[in-house]
């Protein structure tokens, strides 16, 4: 829930966002590569969230994890007539940069937002992958022995976070001032995932945190490798 001060800051930032979008379009029309102009807009964007065309965009998860691809998606709508559609789709759906441009190091592209990007990678994407890895472990246990009461999800959350999902979700919602309930939006789900990441780091010893993080990273790399192989197979190209 936004405070009055947050709302006031966002209202004041609206003219700045219009200027950033205008500068982005002007740079592309002046000959700059669309991707570099887009990333300059991402780097300078002042809003943590906004509503555009009836859609809510939440770029900053937990106040510190930056989803730059979501912002890139929103900004690509502003340059749909200037950016090649195929290149934009490759960026948004697969995270692939255009091949015809020399791209600086990613920390230079994001500037001060790079730290927030790392928070998103580890606190959301790696955490989601870790949950999938533990889910696979639970499923394997289920096949090898008699499974009694409970759902697999509850076992996953108990193993990872020391409590069932329902109890953790209730604690999360209470802390955020959200009403109790089962339904959760995509943005709230990412907030919950990031909250779980911080809960895990806070409640587990450093060795366990490091071990679980390595497990999540390995799972994420495995998923990305499988996706790359499927894409190459569909295109008839051998995998790298």
Torsional sign, CA 216, 123, 105, 86:
positive
Give me the pLDDT at residue 67, please: 97
φ/ψ region of 42 (left if φ > 0, alpha if ψ in -120 to 50, else beta) reads alpha
The DSSP letter of residue 57 is: E
pTM: 0.83
219 Cβ contact list (under 8 Å, min separation 6): 129, 130, 132, 133
Cα(128)–Cα(123) distance, integer angstroms: 8
3-class secondary-structure state, position 227: helix
With pLDDT > 90 as the criterion, what percentage of the chain qualifies?
A: 66
- pLDDT digits over 192-228, tens only? 999 999 999 999 999 999 999 999 999 999 988 887 7
Q: What are phi and psi of 67, to 5 degrees?
A: -95, 85
Domain ranges for the chain, please list them: 4-103, 117-235
Cα(215)–Cα(205) distance, integer angstroms: 16
- pLDDT digits over 49-68, tens only? 999 989 999 999 999 999 99
- pLDDT digits over 84-100, tens only? 999 999 999 988 999 88
Average pLDDT over residues 92-120: 94
């Amino acid at each position: 829930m936004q405070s009055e001060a947050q709302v006031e800051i966002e209202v004041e930032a609206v003219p700045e966002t219009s200027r950033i979008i205008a500068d982005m379009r002007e740079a592309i029309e002046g000959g700059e590569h669309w991707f570099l102009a887009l990333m300059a807009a991402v780097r300078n964007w002042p809003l943590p969230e906004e509503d555009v065309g009836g859609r809510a965009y939440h770029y900053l998860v937990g106040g510190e994890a930056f989803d730059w691809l979501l912002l890139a998606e929103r900004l690509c709508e502003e340059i749909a007539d200037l950016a090649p559609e195929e290149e934009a789709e490759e960026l948004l759906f697969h995270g692939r940069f255009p091949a015809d441009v020399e791209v600086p190091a990613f920390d230079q592209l994001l500037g001060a937002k790079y730290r927030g990007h790392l928070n998103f990678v580890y606190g959301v994407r790696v955490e989601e992958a870790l949950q999938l890895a533990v889910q696979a472990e639970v499923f394997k246990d289920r096949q090898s022995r008699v499974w009694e009461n409970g759902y697999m999800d509850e076992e996953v959350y108990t193993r990872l976070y020391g409590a069932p999902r329902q109890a953790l979700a209730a604690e999360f919602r209470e802390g955020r001032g959200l009403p109790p309930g089962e339904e959760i939006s995509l943005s709230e789900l990412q907030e919950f995932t990031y909250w779980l990441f911080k809960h895990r780091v806070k409640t587990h010893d450093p060795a366990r945190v490091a071990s679980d993080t390595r497990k999540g990273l390995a799972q994420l790399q495995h998923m990305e490798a499988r996706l790359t192989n499927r894409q190459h197979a569909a295109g008839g190209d051998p995998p790298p």
